Amino acid sequence: MEYISIMKRIKLNNTIVLILSVCIVLYLTACGEAKVPDTQVLEETEDLVVVGFSQVGAESDWRNANTQSMKDTFTRENGYELIFSDAQQKQSNQITTIRTFIQREVDYIVLAPVTEDGWDTVLSEAKEADIPVIVVDRQVNVSDDSLFDCWVGSNFRLEGEKVGEWLHRYFVQNEIDEAGVNIVNIKGTLGASSQIGRSGGLSISARKYNWNLLAEAEGEYTQARAREVMTNLLNKYDNINVVYCENDNEAFGVIEAIESAGLKIGPDIADGQIMIVSFDGVSEQAIELAKEGKISCIAECNPLHGPRVRKIIESLEKGVRPEKFEYVDESIYSSIDSIREIQVDEKAYPITILK
């Protein structure tokens, strides 16, 4: 597949060079004098690797950082032409975009899928066109693994379990009866790997430690939606003491809802505060809120996939098959310095203490 794609590009570039050369020769002949071709002509003969990137949208700080990482990496200076497309959180837009990439005969398709399901048909079309597909961030659930070359991203279930273990350690240390823990889960986009993994991690911990998972609502990974659903939950329940937000932007909305309801935010749930935990740790705002104690714990989700995808493309260019699944190492942030480490499946994870 890689070989064919490389040959296709070489053939295309040769064609461009040939057409341009003919034009230059005709032009020079017509003028009757030798002229140096202008920079435009030189640029078009560059051997750029064309990457079509279908991005989920711009719903969160994480997403914007991820987009920036791709744009900073796939530059002309680095030898790439990036065709960027924002799907505005709609899978149908992503499918249309991938078909456009196929028509344009891009060298690589990079897909950050909105949800896991529904990719078989369009990825089969990419495979038929011999265009390698690299999946980033969330995963795809396909009937045939050969429909994509590889995936790079986070272990979302592990992220969820890390937060669960951190909460358990906190409750034990502070002698909080875990049967009195009433959690609401503000879920991310339903069907996205990050939502499935983080919600799954919470279910495991809730079952294990006997917490009461009071309610779940979809926050769509956005501040506005999370504020709205949290306001509704506060109207319905008067005993919420922990809010599990599946990203930081949701935590911002939840903070607004809790404060507007005149309630207090913080880890001291024995004293009536509502504790918030979340994911990402990308924006300064989230880190500041964690330092203030308004977000008690954040499991890092690293968005800087540009250089990772570049490495994958470089190895495919050399005909070397990359790892099918590449998980990124991630930290956990908190300003509560009494918990220095947590364990998941007997593996220790240190906590980055924020000061």
CB environment 197-228: b (16+ within 10 A), e (fewer): bbbebbebbbeebebbbbbbbbbbbbbebbbb
The smaller minimum CB distance to ligand AHR, of residues 2 and 246, is found at 246
In this chain, which stretch among 57-65, 123-131, 202-210, 228-236 interacts with ligand AHR, using CB under 6 A? 57-65
CB environment 281-310: b (16+ within 10 A), e (fewer): bbbeebbebbeebbbbbbbbbbbebbebbb
The smaller minimum CB distance to ligand AHR, of residues 226 and 242, is found at 226
In this chain, which stretch among 54-62, 167-175, 252-260, 309-317 interacts with ligand AHR, using CB under 6 A? 54-62
Taking each continuous run of H as one helix and of E as one strand, the counts in the chain are 11, 15
In this chain, which stretch among 58-66, 124-132, 311-319, 324-332 interacts with ligand AHR, using CB under 6 A? 58-66
For tokens 């109207």, what's the residue?
Answer: 235
Site for ligand AHR in 124-163 (CB under 6 A): 137-138
Among 51, 52, 63, 276, binds ligand AHR (CB under 6 A): 63
Q: How far apart are CA 50 and CA 13, in angstroms?
A: 12
Q: Compute the least distance from the CB of residue 112 to ligand AHR, in Å.
A: 8
Phi, psi for residue 181 in degrees, rounded to 5? -85, 120
The smaller minimum CB distance to ligand AHR, of residues 194 and 334, is found at 194
The smaller minimum CB distance to ligand AHR, of residues 181 and 251, is found at 251
The smaller minimum CB distance to ligand AHR, of residues 94 and 273, is found at 94
Q: Compute the least distance from the CB of residue 206 to ligand AHR, in Å.
A: 20
Other CB atoms closer than 10 Å to residue 100's CB: what's the count? 13
The smaller minimum CB distance to ligand AHR, of residues 149 and 280, is found at 280
- Is position 194 an interface residue for ligand AHR (rule: CB under 6 A)? yes
Residue length of the chain: 355
Q: How far apart are CA 91 and CA 218, in angstroms?
A: 17
Q: What one-character DSSP code corresponds to residue 178?
A: G
In this chain, which stretch among 20-28, 55-63, 77-85, 205-213 interacts with ligand AHR, using CB under 6 A? 55-63
The smaller minimum CB distance to ligand AHR, of residues 129 and 309, is found at 309
Among 53, 62, 119, 148, binds ligand AHR (CB under 6 A): 62
Site for ligand AHR in 244-273 (CB under 6 A): 247
The smaller minimum CB distance to ligand AHR, of residues 137 and 161, is found at 137
The number of residues that bind ligand AHR (CB under 6 A) is 13
> Of 149, 123, 146, 114, which is closest to residue 311 (Cα–Cα)?
149
Q: How far apart are CA 337 and CA 334, in angstroms?
A: 7
Do the beta carbons of residue 279 and residue 247 sit within 8 Å?
A: yes
Among 176, 255, 301, 316, binds ligand AHR (CB under 6 A): 301
In this chain, which stretch among 59-67, 80-88, 123-131, 257-265 interacts with ligand AHR, using CB under 6 A? 59-67
Q: How far apart are CA 130 and CA 50, in angstroms?
A: 14
- Is position 277 an interface residue for ligand AHR (rule: CB under 6 A)? no
CA distances from 88 to 54, 63, 85, 100, 180 (A): 10, 11, 9, 17, 40
Q: What one-character DSSP code corresponds to residue 271?
A: G
- Is position 280 an interface residue for ligand AHR (rule: CB under 6 A)? yes
Single-letter amino acid, residue 155: N
Q: In what order do the strands lie in the sheet with 49-55?
A: 80-86, 49-55, 108-111, 133-136, 150-153, 325-327
Among 170, 221, 244, 333, binds ligand AHR (CB under 6 A): 221
**DSSP element (H, E) containing 134:** strand 133-136
In this chain, which stretch among 60-68, 171-179, 286-294, 340-348 interacts with ligand AHR, using CB under 6 A? 60-68
The smaller minimum CB distance to ligand AHR, of residues 107 and 280, is found at 280
| Contact residues for ligand AHR, defined by CB under 6 A | 59-60, 62-63, 137-138, 192, 194, 221, 247, 279-280, 301
